[in-house]
Amino acid sequence: MEQNQISNQEKLKKEESFFKKSSSQITLKLLLIGALILVLLIPKLLVINLVEERKEYSVEVNNAETKNWSETQHIAGPFLVIPYKEYETKTINGKKTVQAYKNNLIINPNDLNLNGEILTEKKYRTLHEVILYSSNLQISGDFKIPQLEELEINQEDLYLNDAFISFTIGDSKGVSKAKSIQVNGTNYDFKPSTKFINVTNSGINPFDYQIKTRNYYGNNSKNTEGIHALVPLKSIDNSLKFNFNLKLNGSNLLSFSPVARNTNVSLKSQFPDPNFIGNFSTNAGSEISKDGFKASWTISEFQRNIPLFIKGNNIDLENSGFGVKISSQVDNYSKTERSAKYMILIIVFTFLVVFVTEIVNKLKIHIFQYTLIGLAIVIFYTLLLSIGEYLSFDISYLIASIAIIGLIILYSLSVFKHRKSTLTLFGSLCGLFLFMYMIIQMEKYSLITGSIGIFIALAITMYATRKIQFYESEK
């Protein structure tokens, strides 16, 4: 019995001595911190879901407001359409018969020039800002009808008197002025509808634009909206020069399809925060400033896969759209969502700074205190989201950062009771939040910037902990 009691006492002493070792305490603390980081993955997911919810609500508010004004606008055309007689040979009851039916020859412009000015107006519904625009567009160019041999059509089969010029728009409700088109010096009145001409794949790919509205992704839409003008032709030998003015209201996006052999588009506006999207980049010399933007695009026939002419009623524009996105609120949510994805990275490095400070200065920081610091960082993202619904992302980020860094530093003064350690944590938090802001603003260089930043942080940590003895020295 006495021997058993002695052996039990020795085991207890060994266990006590194990937990008293600094190496064991450090290992246990690291395990607890790791477990806490895993637990904080839950609020990260909750924050991201909350951002998605608010974004969806913002989109609903945006669509409700723009529905009465006009939705996204996409201009494709104009197209010269000449009806013609086409023949088809069929075998009926063993006899070959030739049947004639009417088809359309759709000819794209040779040159197309578009100059426009965009005027914006802000409206507020609940907490959300909705930006509406009015565009004044001057459109000119010319058509050159290909040779009959290339068309494989006989001249007597062309219905020249029934020719018309047509183009499509995203939402016909936004047409505030489109009186007539001048062709070779003669004015022809515009009429509603595209006259059975359908355009497919005219817009920008879905990942380029986040607000979904009706008839914008309608790649298979049978009711393409637009206007047309009857332009009777006397012959097909001469080129047709045209020009017209179009006043078009819209929201969120104004985009175009480069249907001509040579397409030139120039836009200007006082809107200071545009986003140029699509399959073609702007020309050199395009600029964005606090006073607005000026942008131009020059696209040749070799840069897009659109034929010079098409037979039929359907025009496939191969998702060749480009244009300018004019909105603000959704960008705030997108940036907040991007920043929330870096939440764990910020928490890990903050805990690392606190842990290294604890080891270097031989402090005692409880895991509960780590938990409070982690929750403070989580609250940063809810502050960023809520303030961002009233102010710009940059100002919201600054306010939320100052609030959370101030909270953590005031708390650390009572935890560390060491001014130098508190200043170290303050500098680290400022660097972390500044680093995250830089990554959010960058798109092209975000990966390399993040990799270099993590490398530098790891190097600093290795340098700071180089003299720490994690195991007791044996005598």
pLDDT tens, position by position, 146-192: 888 888 888 888 899 999 999 888 888 888 888 899 999 899 999 98
In the predicted model, is pLDDT for residue 18 greater than 60? no
pLDDT at 272: 86
Q: Are 411 and 373 in contact (CB under 8 A)?
A: yes
Same domain flag for 87 and 37: no
Note whether residue 14 is domain-resident: no
Same domain flag for 394 and 299: no
Same domain flag for 376 and 266: no
Note whether residue 11 is domain-resident: no
Same domain flag for 279 and 375: no
C-alpha–C-alpha distance, residues 59 and 329, integer Å: 9
The boundaries of the domain holding residue 285 are 76-327
C-alpha–C-alpha distance, residues 73 and 238, integer Å: 33
Closest Cα to residue 82, out of 153, 158, 146, 152? 158
Instruction: Work out the average pLDDT over 458-467.
Output: 68
pLDDT at 12: 47
Instruction: Work out the average pLDDT over 278-288.
Output: 84
pLDDT at 218: 35
pLDDT at 244: 93
Instruction: Work out the average pLDDT over 452-458.
Output: 71
Same domain flag for 245 and 369: no
Report DSSP letters for 447-464, one per residue. HHHHHHHHHHHHHHHHHH
Same domain flag for 39 and 121: no
Instruction: Work out the average pLDDT over 82-91.
Output: 83
Q: Are 148 and 154 in contact (CB under 8 A)?
A: yes
Maximum separation of any 2 CA atoms in the chain, in Å: 123
Note whether residue 61 is domain-resident: no
Note whether residue 207 is domain-resident: yes
pLDDT at 461: 67
Cis ω on the peptide bond leading into residue 274 (within 30° of 0)?
no
**Structure confidence by residue, pLDDT tens digits, 43-67:** 888 888 888 777 777 777 777 777 7
pLDDT at 212: 37
Closest Cα to residue 422, out of 437, 432, 433, 409? 409
**Structure confidence by residue, pLDDT tens digits, 232-267:** 998 887 789 999 999 999 888 888 988 899 999 999
Confidence of residue 202 (pLDDT cuts 50, 70, 90): low
Note whether residue 475 is domain-resident: no
Boundary residue ending a domain (292, 327, 362): 327
Q: Are 117 and 136 in contact (CB under 8 A)?
A: yes
Q: Which two tokens stand for residue 445?
A: 């260089």
| Dihedral class, residue 250 (left if φ above 0, else alpha if ψ from -120 to 50, else beta) | beta
* 26-30, 196-200, 312-316, 374-378: range with lowest mean pLDDT: 26-30
Confidence of residue 8 (pLDDT cuts 50, 70, 90): low
Same domain flag for 273 and 126: yes
| Dihedral class, residue 224 (left if φ above 0, else alpha if ψ from -120 to 50, else beta) | beta
List the beta strands (DSSP E) in 257-291. Answer: 262-269, 275-278, 287-289
Instruction: Work out the average pLDDT over 361-371.
Output: 80
Measured in whole angstroms, the distance separating CA 198 from the mean position of its chain's CA atoms is 27
- DSSP-derived pairing of the beta strands 240-256 and 128-143: antiparallel
Helix ranges (DSSP H) in 70-184: 148-151
**Structure confidence by residue, pLDDT tens digits, 217-240:** 333 344 578 899 999 998 887 789
- b/e map 440-449, b = 16+ CB within 10 Å: beeeeeeeee
Same domain flag for 239 and 215: yes
The tally of domains found in the chain comes to 2
**Structure confidence by residue, pLDDT tens digits, 295-314:** 999 998 888 878 888 888 88
Same domain flag for 120 and 269: yes
The CATH number given to whatever domain includes residue 122 is 2.60.40
Q: Which two tokens stand for residue 438?
A: 């830089």
Q: Which two tokens stand for residue 339?
A: 């920043």
Same domain flag for 96 and 219: yes
C-alpha–C-alpha distance, residues 208 and 192, integer Å: 30
In the predicted model, is pLDDT for residue 213 greater than 60? no
- C-alpha torsion angle, residues 302, 308, 314, 317 (rounded to 10): 20
C-alpha–C-alpha distance, residues 242 and 142, integer Å: 6
Q: What are phi and psi of 192, to 5 degrees?
A: -65, 155
Q: Which two tokens stand for residue 168?
A: 């499509």
Note whether residue 333 is domain-resident: no
pLDDT: is 222 or 102 the higher one? 102
pTM of the model: 0.67
Boundary residue ending a domain (327, 357, 381): 327
Same domain flag for 403 and 429: yes
In the predicted model, is pLDDT for residue 446 greater than 80? no
Note whether residue 363 is domain-resident: yes
In the predicted model, is pLDDT for residue 211 greater than 50? no
- C-alpha torsion angle, residues 105, 317, 210, 273 (rounded to 10): -100
Confidence of residue 408 (pLDDT cuts 50, 70, 90): confident
pLDDT at 20: 55
Boundary residue ending a domain (277, 292, 327): 327
Same domain flag for 203 and 124: yes
Q: Are 278 and 321 in contact (CB under 8 A)?
A: yes
Closest Cα to residue 51, out of 337, 408, 414? 337
Note whether residue 4 is domain-resident: no
